[in-house]
Amino acid sequence: MSFKSPLEGIDEKFEMIQILNEDGEIVNEDAMPDLSDEDLVEIMRRMVYTRVLDQRSIALNRQGRLGFYAPTAGQEASQIGSHFALEKEDFLLPAYRDVPQLIWHGLPLYQAFLFSRGHFHGNQMPEDVNAVSPQIIIGAQITQAAGVALGLKRRGKPNVAITYTGDGGASQGDFYEGINFAGAYQAPAIFVVQNNQFAISVPVEKQSAANTIAQKAAAVGVPGFLVDGMDVFAVYQVVKEARERAVNGDGPTLIETMTYRYGPHTMAGDDPTRYRSEDMNDKWEKRDPLVRFRKFLEGKDLWSEEKENEVIETAKEEIKAAIKKADGHDKQKVTDLISIMYEELPSNLKEQMEEYKEKESK
């Protein structure tokens, strides 16, 4: 005899969840999230704002007025939809592309720009912002999220830790360890994998033989969901349900959002025309999360060109003001960097502090 592969039929268990189709029509009425008209408008406002922020950030980077920048266009439903399902007290552990979630969680825009430029003040989260700065080591945020979630559970708080990585990140050891730890402790964590099809130039097909990343959750005994990451309703609803399970003590969830980045990997010289076809771009542009949500809202008379232009203008103005504020911020000194190393400086740094104080006083 030969044993049947347990993988047979597994893809059916991880079929993509969609609520809003490309034409802005509701295709899954039962799953429709409970959102007020006000909420719907606010989600659209944030998505449009984030698209403008991406366009302006790319331009500012090209002018040398921003440093490290990882484009976000295309991922608005995935980023904004998932963040909209959270509470202020939830703890956010973003990856380097997840600056928009940080901003909507309360990080002032000028600080996000200082993060991009490489200034420590950009990472000084305000006291009421439960978040750490964007993680550069792909996977490190996942094990940390398990710890934050266990901490929240031990403190008896009705909150979750949410963290993000990309499709490439799901190949890391820390990805597996993090979701496994959270599962073992039934900790209130939400792990979002934003599958934007490419890890720099490497397509997702080259990361793994698994047909979905969501199914990796099965390896650690945690529910996994594949979601249309260009559909803000589907993303919101699946995260919302994951949050409810988590705060009810039912443990973590892994969510794969199927999405796309229209821009390059980062602004540090990546050229996507080397590894992506026009066809592919066209296909994903038809799925634009803004286009379909706009159609939906216009159909309900909740959105107009005028409203959209208003958001665009506001965004541009706020971005301009934030860049100006970032420009005016104090330059970093070595003594600043020494002073944030330890609560109490060890002997070597005490000595170096004196040396640099002397230099800086000249």
Partner 1 sequence: MAQMTMIQAITDALSTELKNDEDVLVFGEDVGQNGGVFRATEGLQEEFGEERVFDTPLAESGIIGMSVGLSTQGFRPVPEIQFFGFVYEAMDAVSGQAARMRYRSGGRWHAPITIRSPFGGGVHTPELHADSLEGLMAQQPGLKVVIPSNPYDAKGLLISSIRENDPVIFLEHMKLYRSFREEVPEEEFTVDLGKANVKREGKDITLIAYGAMVHSSLKAAEELEKENIDAEVIDLRTVQPIDVDTIIESVMKTNRAVVVQEAQRQAGIAASIVSEIQERAILHLEAPVLRVTAPDTVYPFSQAEEVWLPNYEDIIEKAKQSINF
Which residues are annotated as catalytic? 261, 265, 275
Shortest CB 322 distance to partner 1, Å? 18
| Of residues 150-189, those binding partner 1 (CB under 8 A) | 150-152, 154-155, 161, 173-174, 177-178, 180-181, 184
- Binding marks (x or -) toward partner 1, 63..102, rule CB under 8 A? ----------------------------x-x---------
- Residue 299 as a binder of partner 1 (CB under 8 A): the answer is no
Whole-number minimum distance, CB 51 to partner 1, in Å?
A: 29
Residue 132 CB, shortest distance to partner 1, in Å, is 6
- 62, 337, 354, 357: which one contacts partner 1 (CB under 8 A)? 337
Interface characters, 185-224, with partner 1 (x: CB under 8 A): ----------------------------------------
- Segment near partner 1 (CB under 8 A); pick from 55-63, 225-233, 323-331, 333-341: 333-341
When binding is defined by CB under 8 A, the residue of 85, 86, 102, 125 that contacts partner 1 is 125
- Rule CB under 8 A: is residue 149 a binding residue for partner 1? yes
Residue from 146, 190, 222, 227 in contact with partner 1 (CB under 8 A): 146
Query: 3-class secondary structure for the chain?
Result: CCCCCCCCCHHHHCCCECCECCCCCECCHHHCCCCCHHHHHHHHHHHHHHHHHHHHHHHHHHCCCCCCCCCCCCCHHHHHHHHHCCCCCCEEECECCCHHHHHHHCCCHHHHHHHHHCCHHHHCCCCCCCECCCECCCCHHHHHHHHHHHHHHHCCCCCCEEEEEECHHHHCHHHHHHHHHHHHCCCCEEEEEEECCEECCEEHHHCCCCCCCHHHHHHHCCCEEEEECCCHHHHHHHHHHHHHHHHCCCCCEEEEEECCCCCCCCCCCCCHHHCCCHHHHHHHHCCCHHHHHHHHHHHCCCCCHHHHHHHHHHHHHHHHHHHHHHHCCCCCCHHHHHHCCCCCCCHHHHHHHHHHHHHHCC
CB of 124 to partner 1, least distance (A): 4
- Residues that bind partner 1 in the complex, under the rule CB under 8 A: 91, 93, 120-121, 123-125, 132-133, 137, 140, 142-152, 154-155, 161, 173-174, 177-178, 180-181, 184, 337, 340-343, 346-349
